[in-house]
Chains A and B, each alone.
Chain A
Amino acid sequence: MRKNDRHDKIKLTMGIGCMFLMSGLAAYTLSWIWMILWIMSMFVTVGCTHCCRWYESMWLFVLTAITSVPTNIVLVWKFMDIGIFYPNLAWVGETLLGVQFYLMFLSYEEIIIGLLGRFIWKKQKNMDKVV
């Protein structure tokens, strides 16, 4: 069991590092390929890690929230650049609006990735069973 834990920790560390790298590259290059690779790396990490078993959806939820930070910041920045509805805004209002859009984009990503995850791993335990 201890060997499994050690292997899981190594896999998770490498996986999260990989995800951050790909998310950062997706943000830097604005390339769909890196975004797809980021999502695939998340699924591979969660699928290969023993401790995630039966709670893959929960892990995907948390990993999406953490590793999507670079991509979402760039997405919000590009979206705010359009400035259709809010052409003249003080920096405080703009920042708060940016945070709002960030949370909204994160919601959509969570739902899409969560549904994909549920499609792959149909049997999941409820969160109150984790205790």
Chain B
Amino acid sequence: MKYNFRGPYPIMANWLIAKKREDGMYSVRNALVNEVHYMDSDTYHFLRNLNGRRDPLIVAKKFNVDAEVLMEYFVENALVRAGRSIVKTFSFLMFTLYIPKHQKSRSILPKLYGLILYLSWLPILIYGVYRAFYTTYAFDISNMMWGWFIGLVIGAVLHEMSHAILSLATEEAYFFEAGVLCERFMPGAYVLVDKSEIKSKAKRISIDAAGVVANLFLTGLFLVLCTMQESISGFCLGAALINIILVGLNMTMLKGLDGRAVVDEIIGMPQGGRGVKKVLLKCINTRDSGPLSCNQKVAMIACLIMVVYQILLPLLYINGILIILGDYL
């Protein structure tokens, strides 16, 4: 389906996964919020025909459905989208840049990319660090700032691309879109990937960690390059440093970052936004009917550790940014 964001009408959301059931009904899963909606064939085809250029009222006549009621339902449940921005509030903006033609891929290229990335990142990183330590000339730091900036752009693009490509390498995963976001005035990039149908934890972790592994690969590569030619040494050193900082920031257990996604998969935290709250509430409710078991107490402690991260780390990051600004101003 082609997405025409310039059209005046709403478009069927690209993060829906529709499957036809045996009884003729369609189950439409909204991968953004992990909700399933069941609809009959006419309603589903009405939804599918919303491509931004067609008036819903005219399309509704073709399928003999009530456009107003359905559109209200679709808007309320995020089954349609109006433009390029998914979320647009004061503190959170997500803007779509790219929607792939196909959400899955049978090509061998994504698998090959994943294999090369996971096999090569560590040797390149070790080699780069070794060369950087034993290089004979001093780094020319005059163009290091350009290295920071361009390294950041390359690092961010490759990071998100790696998540997308690794999801395409997995048959059960879906890649919906890529874009930029701004959360609490912090800019970033995102890819919308659905992994809920993947049964293997290892595959899910490999998709979550792919971005960080790509940044580590880039760090090693830039360190090798900076020791090859003195004229670009400062540039490449800056690029390597910003990529390692990206790794360091991304691997913390803050919600929305890759580190948290990896840890959630490792310890078996329920997926979705409220996993910690769900487990904590379950343990508290069980406590009313009797003493908690050892594992329940440990589960509560694990949830509390996550909560501490959620509350403290953003405040500390702001503190860190203010310190850096204070140093340079």
Asked if B319 contacts A100 (CB within 8 A), the reply is yes
Asked if A131 contacts B294 (CB within 8 A), the reply is no
Cβ-based interface call for B186 (8 A): no
Q: A97-B323, A117-B266 are in contact. Are A103 and B295 (CB under 8 A)?
A: no
Chain B residues numbered 285-318 whose CB sits less than 8 Å from any CB in chain A:
286, 293-296, 298-299, 301-302, 305, 309, 312-313, 316-317
Name the residue in B286, B301, B317 with the highest tally of chain A Cβ atoms < 10 Å from its Cβ: B301
Asked if B252 contacts A58 (CB within 8 A), the reply is no
Smallest CB separation, A127 vs chain B (Å): 5
Asked if A131 contacts B316 (CB within 8 A), the reply is no
Asked if B316 contacts A100 (CB within 8 A), the reply is yes
Asked if B298 contacts A59 (CB within 8 A), the reply is yes
Smallest CB separation, B125 vs chain A (Å): 15
CA gap between A129 and B248 in the complex, in Å? 32
The residue on B at minimum CB distance from A64 is B305
Stretch at the interface among B58-66, B95-103, B139-147, B267-275: B267-275
Cβ-based interface call for A32 (8 A): no
Residue in B268, B313, B327 whose CB lies within 8 Å of A58:
B268
A-side contacts of B205, CB under 8 Å: 115, 118
Cβ-based interface call for A114 (8 A): yes
Q: A58-B268, A104-B248 are in contact. Are A128 and B279 (CB under 8 A)?
A: yes
Asked if B252 contacts A131 (CB within 8 A), the reply is no
Cβ-based interface call for A73 (8 A): no
Cβ-based interface call for A89 (8 A): yes
Name the residue in B283, B296, B317, B320 with the highest tally of chain A Cβ atoms < 10 Å from its Cβ: B320
13 A-B contacts (beta carbon < 8 Å):
A55-B298, A61-B267, A97-B319, A97-B320, A99-B316, A100-B317, A111-B262, A111-B266, A126-B268, A126-B269, A128-B278, A131-B279, A131-B299
B binding-site residues for A, Cβ under 8 Å: 201, 205, 248, 251-253, 259, 262-263, 266-270, 275, 278-279, 282-283, 286, 293-296, 298-299, 301-302, 305, 309, 312-313, 316-317, 319-320, 323-324, 327
